Each structure stands twice: as C-alpha cells, then as structure tokens.
Structure 1
Amino acid sequence: MYHTWMRFFTPSPLHHRLGLVCLGVGLQHGALPTVGPRTLDHHVAVIVHSGSGWFKGPDGRRTPVTGPSLIWLTPGTPHHYGADPGTGWDESFVDFTGPATATYTELGYIEPDRPLVPLTDTAAPRAAVGRMVRAARRGNPLLEVETGAAVHELLVALRRARADIGPDGDPVLQALARDAYQPLTVAEHAARHGMTAAELRTAVRRGAGCSPKDYLLGIRLGRAKELLAATDLPVAAVARRVGYDDPAYFSRLFARRVGAAPVRFREQQGRSVPGGWSDRVPDPDDPPTISA
C-alpha cells in the first residue's frame, strides 16, 4: 500500500521571469511504484525523509538510498528509482525550473554530478515543501509567486541540511569569516589552515559558490556598509576596520562593487545611530521593540 498527494502548475512566462517557478509538488509514503526509466526537461528535488530504496543514473548502476536523503533529478539526465517494496519510504518531491537554476548550479546548491546527497535532517526542507502544499489550494491568486518563493527557500534548506556540512556550516568558511578583517592574502589564509591556495579555493568554491577573495570581500563590504550607515566614523577609519590600510583603494573598490562611493552610500542611508548599534543578532521570537 502507498498514499500519494500531488498538484501540478503551469506558471506564465511572466512568472518565469521571477527566476524560479514551481511546476509541481507532492507528498507520498509507502511502497511507492517505481519511477522511470525516464528523462525530464526540468529539475526535481526528491526528498526521502525516511525509509530506503534505490536509484539508477545514466551509468546504470543501482545505488542504495537511505533516508534522510536527497535525489537530484536534472534536465536531460536519464534516471530510474524506487522505494523498497517491503518497507517503502516517506517522500516529498518538488518539480521546478527557471533561469535561476543555472546560478544555483554554479553556486553549488544544485549538483548535477551528485544525484544522491545524504542529509542530516529534513525538517527545514519539509517546512518549505509545506508552504508549497498550503499555497496549492484551489483558486489561490498568489499560487505561482508563493510556490516560486518557496522553491528558493527549499534550495537553501537543502544546502544547509547536507550531511557533509556541520550544523554551523563549513569550519573553513567560519574561520575565514572570523579573520576576514585582517590584512591577509589568500595564500596566508590557506597557510593558517594547512592548505595550499588551490585547496582553499576548492573548499570555498564548494562551500560558498565563489572564490575566497569574493567571499572575504562580501564580508568586508557588508561590515563597511554597517559602519557607514550606523556610525560617524571617517571613511579612512571604516577602511581600516575592515582590513584596508589604503582608504583610496577601499573607496575605489567599494564604489566598483556597491555602485556608489562610501560617502554617497552614507548619505543615502541617513541612519546614524551613535551609541545605538549592536552586533547581537535579535531573537526572532523576541525582536527589538519601541519602549513605551
């Protein structure tokens, strides 16, 4: 026996311009029928929450699948899979497409060469799928936008749930973030971790989808924006705080990446709050409020 629920959608060309659209969503459990062999023209994330089964890719090899796991089905790739007929599995699936899939693939969120991905937990992916399920009610005028937004959320949740990444993220990325404001070269950062520059580039590319230089630059510029928006520090002082001894170089770099010079960015924000800035992340269940 098995149980299944599914809905399929046909988003308009305008909705496709949002980057990602959901083409279908389903919840299934039990000894499900075998899927394929088949080839699709869109992406599917098959989330096996629990249970076991098998998967065959283009090479024809039968690989065991044990939940929690993710099966990536990518366009043009032959596949064949099924739950164990004796025990079955608990599955969610989401069909999606859109121009943003190329960028998510480049960033490492979608892995065409890695169709089976062990997961540590599926609570967050299940929650994202749940939003699509609730949005799928008949007559929902926000259907395409709600489900498309949830696909973005799902890709992030699946990326965070990968079993090869700790609950707090990649330790190398954490260390880079901690040392981001120090005036170190990529080679010097690598040496701190007993790695070559090439090994560090590979690790950061896999973990963050970018080069170490861009990863560090994003952290530095983010902090610089905070200091410019919320303090009266001179630009030169801001530059030093985020690791640049040459304020002129910092200003050129900032303008090139942000699209506005530091002084102009500060003018646009107009939110100087001397004495009121905090680095503490607010508790979502107890956000800052205006005191009576």
Structure 2
Amino acid sequence: MYHTWMRYFTPGPVHHRLGLVCLGVGLQHGALPPVGPRTLDHHVAVVVSAGAGWYRTPDGRTRPVIAPALLWLTPGTPHHYGAGHGAGWDEAFVDFTGTAVGAYTELGYIEPERPVVPLTDTTGARAAVTRIARAARRGNPLLEVETSAAVHELLVALRRARADTATGADPVLAALARDAFLPLSVTQHAARHGMTPAELRTAVRRGAGCSPKDYLLGIRLGRAKELLAATELPVAAVARRVGYDDPAYFSRLFTRRVGTAPVRFRERVGRALPGGWSDRVPDPEHPPVIGSRPSA
C-alpha cells in the first residue's frame, strides 16, 4: 500500500531564461514500486525523509539508501532504485533543468558522481518542496517563477544538509573567513592549518565549491564594498583593512572583478550621508534585526 501525489509543468522559453525551471514535483510514501531501470533527459532530486531502500548503479552494484538521504538522478545516466520491503519510505522529488545546472554542479551543489548522498536532516529541503507543491495549484499565474525560485532554494537546502560537509561545521572555511583580511598568501594560510596548498585547495573546493584564492577574494571584496558604501575612508585605507598593502594593486583587482573602480563604486552606491541611521559599518557577524521601529 502506498500513497502518491504529483504534478508536472511545461515552462515556456522565457521561463527557461530564469536559469532553472521546475518540471515536476511529487510527494509519496509507503511501499512504493521500484523505479527503472530508466534514463532521463533532466535532473531529479529525490529526498528520502524516512525509511530505507536501495539504489542500483549502472554497473550493477546495489547501494543501501537510509533516510535521511538524497538521490541525484542526472541526465543520460541509467538509474534503478526502490523503497525497502515492508513500510517502504517517505520521499519527495523535484524534476528540474536549466542553464544554471552547470554552475551549481561546478560549485558542488549537484554531484553527478554521487547518486546517493547522506543528509543530516530534510527539513529545509522538504520546506522548498512544499513551496513548489503549494505553487502548483491550478490557475496560479506565478507558477513557473515561484517554482523556479524554490528550485534554487532546494539546491541550497540540500547543500546545507549534506552530512559530510554541513554548512557551519567546516573549521577550515571558518578559519579562512576569520583570517581573510590578514596579508597572507594561500601557501601561508595552508601552513597555518598544517596543510599543503593542494590539501587546502581540496578542502575549500569540497566545502565552498571554489579555490581558496576565490573564497578569500570574495570575502575581501565584499567587505571592501561595505566600507566604500558606508564610510568615507580613503581607498588606500579600505585596501589596508581588507588585506592589501598596495592600494594600486587593490584598485586594479577591484576594478577587474567588480567591473568598476573603487571610487566609481562609492559614487554609485555610497550611503555615508549626513543624518543617516548609522555612522559606522555594522559588524558582519552581528547584522541588525529587520523589524518594526521601536516605539519612542
């Protein structure tokens, strides 16, 4: 005995330009029949929140699936899986495709080489699936855009829930973020962690989907933008605060990565105005709470 609910969509050409589109969603539980063997032309994320089952790889090997877990079904790859005997399992699935899939794969959010991924929990993923299911009501004029946004949210939730590299639990990334503004090379950062540069690159790419240099640069330039937008510090002082002793090098790097020079960026987005709500840049670790204005 099993229960199933599913909806399928056909987004138009304009919706495909959003980068990700949702092609279908389903919620099922119980002793579900096996799926496949089959091959698809799009991606499917199958989130197993309770129960257990199996997944058979293209070479014929069978791997156990124990909730909470994720099954990645990728285009062109044969797959065959099913719930275990007895009570079966609880699953939610989302079919999707789009040009942004390549970027999410390069960043490590989608892992074609790992069809079975252990998760710490499925709360965030199930919330994103629920949003898709609610948007699937017939006659919803925002269907394609709402479900597209929810697919992005789903990929982030699944990345956050991965049991091997749970967000916030990676000491290497946390330490790099803490030390990002020190004038250190990647080799020096690696030495501080007792690692070789190659080991550091592997760890950062696994955790953040990019190289240590790009990870540090993103943090530095983000802080530089905040200082340029909310203070009147000279560009040279901003450069020093984010780890660059040479302001000319900082300006060239900023211009190349941001697309505009630091002084132009400040002219365009600056908020250091008299009478503003704050005279300093808030601590990134303690952002202000957005809510109602306190009563006088």
Q: TM-score range with shorter-chain normalisation?
A: over 0.9
Counterparts of 1:200-239 in structure 2, within 5 Å, are: 200-239=200-239
Whole-Å separation in 2 of the counterparts to 1:270 and 1:157: 33
For 1:161, the equivalent position in structure 2 comes to: 161
Question: Where does the alignment leave 5 or more consecutive residues of structure 2 unmatched?
Answer: none
Counterparts of 1:1-292 in structure 2, within 5 Å, are: 1-272=1-272, 273=276, 275-279=279-283, 280-283=286-289, 287=291, 289=293
Q: In structure 2, the residue corresponding to 1:137 is in which secondary structure?
A: coil
Question: CA 1:166–1:97 in structure 2 vs 1: closer, same or farther (change >3 Å)?
Answer: closer
Structure 1 contact 2–28 (Cα < 8 Å) conserved: yes
Residues 24-80 of structure 1 deviation map (CA, whole Å, 9 limit, x = unaligned): 000000000110000000000000001000001212111110000000000000000
Whole-Å separation in 1 of the counterparts to 2:171 and 2:125: 23
Q: In structure 1, the residue corresponding to 2:200 is in which secondary structure?
A: helix
Structure 1 contact 176–189 (Cα < 8 Å) conserved: yes
- One-letter amino acid of the structure 2 residue matched with residue 224 of structure 1: A
Structure 1 contact 57–77 (Cα < 8 Å) conserved: no
- One-letter amino acid of the structure 2 residue matched with residue 93 of structure 1: F
Residues 208-241 of structure 1 deviation map (CA, whole Å, 9 limit, x = unaligned): 1111101100000000000000011111110000
- One-letter amino acid of the structure 1 residue matched with residue 260 of structure 2: A
Whole-Å separation in 1 of the counterparts to 2:59 and 2:111: 16
Structure 2 contact 227–281 (Cα < 8 Å) conserved: no
Taking every aligned residue pair, what percent have the same amino acid on both sides? 77
Length, aligned pairs only: 290
Q: In structure 2, the residue corresponding to 1:41 is in which secondary structure?
A: coil
Structure 2 contact 282–288 (Cα < 8 Å) conserved: no
Q: Over aligned residue pairs, what C-alpha RMSD do you find?
A: 1.3
Structure 1 contact 160–169 (Cα < 8 Å) conserved: no
Whole-Å separation in 1 of the counterparts to 2:197 and 2:293: 46
C-alpha displacement of 1:202: 1.1
Whole-Å separation in 1 of the counterparts to 2:280 and 2:210: 34
C-alpha displacement of 1:87: 2.2
C-alpha displacement of 1:169: 3.9
Q: In structure 1, the residue corresponding to 2:46 is in which secondary structure?
A: strand
Structure 1 contact 22–148 (Cα < 8 Å) conserved: yes
Question: Where does the alignment leave 5 or more consecutive residues of structure 1 unmatched?
Answer: none
Residues 108-131 of structure 1 deviation map (CA, whole Å, 9 limit, x = unaligned): 000000011000010000000010
Question: CA 1:212–1:291 in structure 2 vs 1: closer, same or farther (change >3 Å)?
Answer: farther
Whole-Å separation in 1 of the counterparts to 2:169 and 2:161: 10
Structure 2 contact 204–210 (Cα < 8 Å) conserved: yes
Q: In structure 2, the residue corresponding to 1:109 is in which secondary structure?
A: coil
Structure 2 contact 52–88 (Cα < 8 Å) conserved: yes
Structure 1 contact 52–87 (Cα < 8 Å) conserved: no
Question: CA 1:150–1:191 in structure 2 vs 1: closer, same or farther (change >3 Å)?
Answer: same
Whole-Å separation in 1 of the counterparts to 2:165 and 2:230: 34
- TM-score normalised over the length of structure 1: 0.96
Whole-Å separation in 2 of the counterparts to 1:24 and 1:245: 52
Q: In structure 1, the residue corresponding to 2:194 is in which secondary structure?
A: coil
Q: In structure 1, the residue corresponding to 2:51 is in which secondary structure?
A: strand
- One-letter amino acid of the structure 1 residue matched with residue 42 of structure 2: H
Q: In structure 2, the residue corresponding to 1:60 is in which secondary structure?
A: coil
